[in-house]
Structure 1
Amino acid sequence: MSGAGIFIKKDLNLSNIQLEVLMGILNVYSLVGSFAAGRTSDLIGRRYTIVTAAVIFFFGALLMGLAPNYALLMVGRFVAGVGVGYAMVIAPVYTTEISPASCRGFLTSLPEVFINIGILLGYLSDFAFSNFSLKLGWRIMLGVGAIPSVFIGLAALIMPESPRWLVMQGRLGEARQTLHRVSDSLDEANLRLAEIKKAAGISSDCNDDIVTVAKKSHGEGVWRELLQRPTPAVRHILLATLGVNFFQQASGIDAVVLYSPKIFEKAGITSDNQKLLATVLVGVVKTTFILVGTFTFDRVGRRPLFLYSMGGMVISLASLGTWLTVINHSKTKLTWEIAMAIVSVLTFVATFSIGMGPAAWVYCSEIFPLSLRAQGVSMGIGVNRVMSGVISMTFLSLQEAITIGGAFFLFMGVGIVGWIFFYTLLPETRDKSLEEIQSLFGTFFNWRLTSAEIVKNQDANDNQIEMESSTNDHN
């Protein structure tokens, strides 16, 4: 949509307001999919929810590519947005639940890696199709997105189901087989199964292939545990999830990704082809550094990457705001000023991609208890999509109101608050099993907890699980 927006505006004679709504509305529409994905994945499984996301997005991309006018283009954006919402929830949930702890950070960050590869391919297709006729070029740019969704849907059919979802359904035999396939050793598979059974309230002595597991009807109990009567640990986890997703988007990444051509235009680049080429460079840098972040997750840890990444973003935003302001007040456009603005954009996307981009996926999908994971992640994605929509649908108006340099100074201020939030509230989760992670939450400043306090929190969580299990048996 970044490059297509240039040509859509010309072809359909759109105002700035219509264009920014079109650009950002997909993120708002994705709320429908993100809120439905948690319940859907609990009902039909993680694997078939991935298939559902692929099918929905396939039809959305076709509708966008065939749209004859603005109204039908918006319909296509709605359908595609629902598919995006499904995918953004289920991808990290599925990957987290199937991955061993030794490489969970690496594997769970892969969705963000391939999102960035997709963005880069989108930039390249914008450039490749920019020489087509005005009416045809942007339609191909959007319609070509239907092709990858076909491969995703077909591939998901041969993937194993999440062992944690299988245990929640009482299908222990299938969960055991899956864990044998995806664990580093038989002992690790047995240990993971024992931890999952404990979290689900199933006796560790139970070796049946199929058991009956008490389920909360229609998810009311899950939402009650999340929102109405959360434990201190769940309240802390939810706060961390909502905060991570808020600051990831409110710091302005979508303004740069979607409006790179506009930013480069303000920096002094006037040719459409040159703007698209500069945007391709943004995609290359973003994809390269997302790979760097992916390979350092399980070595460096989540918390340091959050802090280094947001710190780098704040510095980059300060630089970008400064140079755009200087250029805006200069009577002549100097090459070195334009170069510094471009370097600031590239530094911003690089520092975002090395931590904030993939870290949000990994961290939020691994910190929730098993029974709350799908709905908890969907709430985080909901905040993520709302903020993404707000930023992308107001950026053009914002830069007209306070100048484009002022807009990036505003994002810098948000980033500073985000850094303080991460430093204060996010404990490290590296090398912890999903069932161990909950003991890190429940009190602020968790990185200062002693071993005794962690054990105490774990005992409290164990007692709660045993009480829930006893209640289920009694019922």
Structure 2
Amino acid sequence: MNSILLGYDIGVMSGAGIYIKKDLKLSNIQLEILMGILNVYSLLGSAAAGRTSDWIGRRYTIVTAAVIFFLGALFMGFAPNYAILMVGRFVAGIGVGYALVIAPVYTAEISPASSRGFLTSLPEVFINIGTLLGYISNFAFSKMSLNVGWRLMLGLGAIPAVLIGLGVLVMPESPRWLVMQGRIAEARRTLHLVSDSPDEANLRLDEIKKAVGISLDCNDDHITVAKNSNGKGVWRELFLHPTPAVQHMLLVTFGINFFQQACGLAAVVLYSPKVFEKAGITSDNHKLLATIFVGIVKTSLVFIGAIMLDRFGRRTVFLYSMAGMIVSHASLGTWLTVINQSKTKQTWAIVMAIISVLSFVATFSMGMGPAAWVYCSEIFPVALRAQGVSVGIGVNRVTGGLVSMTFLSLQQAITIGGAFYLFMGVGIVGWIFFYTLLPETRDNSLEEIERLFGRFFNWRLTVTELAKNEVEIGESTKTELTEEPNASS
């Protein structure tokens, strides 16, 4: 439900923006800000989500996200002018920031290793379902009067928030958070509910206790846990005194979230009606229908990506997905350039441009979309996980916001074809980053994954040690040569 909230807002704004601009008489700059500012506002929610979830628990943080977004949806639905609409975007953005952090963290912490990739990718699945629902809402209310239709489109976002309040009644708390609070008995009961076997549940409990710093021999139902149980000192461990492994994790988290958005996702999804307009589709209804088809492709294929993560591994999925996105951007940039420079309607080029859009959302949904959430939510140690993910979400939202708030200006400055060539170049850099720095995490427990990181930041130490060893070997050899030779020599 939290992910549907975010997806719905992305999808519904792509079409609602057409009618908001007409009704409130907005400029392109105002529309860009309205469309993309939610990403920036969500930074506040994502920054607070890690500490909040360590304080009140993962489950109630999910409810907090839903309540905040519910209020934001009401503000947007009843907004009489641009200023109040921006207030609604601000409130909803905080809710989105909370949801983006807590959904993958909670899912990763309750999932067994055998299916963690699939289960942790479900937030991306439901983001896509929400986006599709937003597209459908656009089309359904497009025939209503100008000042009513877009308000209904935005106001319906309150419905999933209500459902979350009911769903929390049957949700267990994260076993890792319970152990961090010293509530061992509750954590044991939860692990028996969410593990494949009793033996696995006991093994997971031992791994969590070890990670938190509790003796494996301790069988008390409730104990007092030292620092970090409420998130204290975590930011210091992340940024001031990180280990080589944590440095590597942070770099990977920054890179994954940056490239997921900098490759132009918002330009294709949020501005798909504008892209289709540049491709030669002029009718508003036809543009909205085309975006619905994009949503169907994006939603249906993300399930394949979720399955591929556990079957082929995270790193492999990242590399193939980004390669497909690079090719799609190159194709889309080419056909949009052909269309813009042609004086007559080029139907074949329009068809190829639409196919390129569908190819991009397909390759994104089958890899980069779900893989980013899975990878970032599973690599951090338990005490750093919530805040570590929140840092990545911050990078994700800032990058997405910049793309959203500059795309209309960018395509005017370097043409829309040139904009997608730029995204292609960013994708190439991203592929190199993934190939160089991402270790494979499939089939490892959350506690085992930490040992896969840190080698990149130890390379200087390794080179220094090798050089020192060579000097020592050279000195010892020199000493041997100056000694009196014997038979063994």
Q: TM-score, normalised by structure 1?
A: 0.93
* 1:131 counterpart SS class: coil
Please name the residue that 1:423 is paired with. Answer: 435
Matched, 1:226 2:255: no
1:333-348 matches, within 5 Å, as: 333-348=345-360
**CA distance in 1: counterparts of 2:25 and 2:311, whole angstroms:** 51
Per-residue deviation, 1:180: 0.7
Contact 1:427 / 1:445 at 8 angstroms: preserved in 2?
no
Contact 1:93 / 1:365 at 8 angstroms: preserved in 2?
yes
Matched, 1:435 2:425: no
**CA distance in 1: counterparts of 2:161 and 2:119, whole angstroms:** 20
Matched, 1:49 2:61: yes
The Cα offsets for residues 15-65 of structure 1, whole Å up to 9 and x where unpaired, read as: 000001000000000000000000000000000000000000011111100
Per-residue deviation, 1:153: 2.3
Matched, 1:188 2:200: yes
Contact 1:425 / 1:445 at 8 angstroms: preserved in 2?
no
Please name the residue that 2:221 is paired with. Answer: 209
Please name the residue that 2:300 is paired with. Answer: 288
Please name the residue that 1:408 is paired with. Answer: 420
AA paired with 2:327? I
Please name the residue that 2:255 is paired with. Answer: 243
* 1:275 counterpart SS class: helix
**CA distance in 1: counterparts of 2:240 and 2:250, whole angstroms:** 12
AA paired with 2:131? I
**CA distance in 2: counterparts of 1:222 and 1:322, whole angstroms:** 47
Matched, 1:267 2:288: no
Please name the residue that 1:29 is paired with. Answer: 41
Please name the residue that 2:8 is paired with. Answer: none
* 2:282 counterpart SS class: coil
Unaligned runs of 5+ in 1: 447-475
**CA distance in 2: counterparts of 1:296 and 1:306, whole angstroms:** 11
AA paired with 1:3? G
The Cα offsets for residues 235-261 of structure 1, whole Å up to 9 and x where unpaired, read as: 001100110000000000011111000
- Which of 140, 165, 168 pairs up with 1:128? 140
The Cα offsets for residues 76-109 of structure 1, whole Å up to 9 and x where unpaired, read as: 0000000000000000000000000000000000
1:83-102 matches, within 5 Å, as: 83-102=95-114
**CA distance in 1: counterparts of 2:250 and 2:191, whole angstroms:** 28
Please name the residue that 1:144 is paired with. Answer: 156
AA paired with 1:369? P
Per-residue deviation, 1:444: 2.7
Unaligned runs of 5+ in 2: 1-12, 459-489
- Which of 81, 102, 120 pairs up with 1:108? 120
Contact 2:244 / 2:457 at 8 angstroms: preserved in 1?
no
AA paired with 2:201? A
**CA distance in 2: counterparts of 1:154 and 1:89, whole angstroms:** 20
Contact 1:51 / 1:157 at 8 angstroms: preserved in 2?
no
AA paired with 2:115? C
Please name the residue that 1:39 is paired with. Answer: 51
Structure 1 residues 218 and 181: CA distance shift in structure 2, 3 A: closer
Please name the residue that 2:405 is paired with. Answer: 393
Structure 1 residues 152 and 182: CA distance shift in structure 2, 3 A: same
Contact 1:264 / 1:275 at 8 angstroms: preserved in 2?
yes
Please name the residue that 1:330 is paired with. Answer: 342
The Cα offsets for residues 285-311 of structure 1, whole Å up to 9 and x where unpaired, read as: 100110110122111110000000000
Matched, 1:175 2:187: yes
Per-residue deviation, 1:445: 10
**CA distance in 2: counterparts of 1:368 and 1:346, whole angstroms:** 34
**CA distance in 1: counterparts of 2:346 and 2:228, whole angstroms:** 64
AA paired with 1:9? K
**CA distance in 2: counterparts of 1:56 and 1:416, whole angstroms:** 38
Per-residue deviation, 1:112: 0.5
Please name the residue that 1:467 is paired with. Answer: none
Please name the residue that 1:252 is paired with. Answer: 264
* 1:280 counterpart SS class: helix
Larger Cα-atom Rg:
2
Contact 1:28 / 1:389 at 8 angstroms: preserved in 2?
yes
**CA distance in 2: counterparts of 1:308 and 1:246, whole angstroms:** 18
The Cα offsets for residues 86-144 of structure 1, whole Å up to 9 and x where unpaired, read as: 00000000000000000000000001100100000100010010000000000000000
Please name the residue that 1:371 is paired with. Answer: 383
- Which of 174, 177, 180 pairs up with 1:162? 174
**CA distance in 2: counterparts of 1:141 and 1:340, whole angstroms:** 31
* 1:157 counterpart SS class: helix
Per-residue deviation, 1:217: 8.6
**CA distance in 2: counterparts of 1:236 and 1:45, whole angstroms:** 27
**CA distance in 1: counterparts of 2:229 and 2:142, whole angstroms:** 52
Please name the residue that 1:76 is paired with. Answer: 88
- Which of 28, 31, 37 pairs up with 1:19? 31
Two-structure CA RMSD over aligned residues (Å): 1.1
* 2:217 counterpart SS class: coil
Please name the residue that 1:60 is paired with. Answer: 72
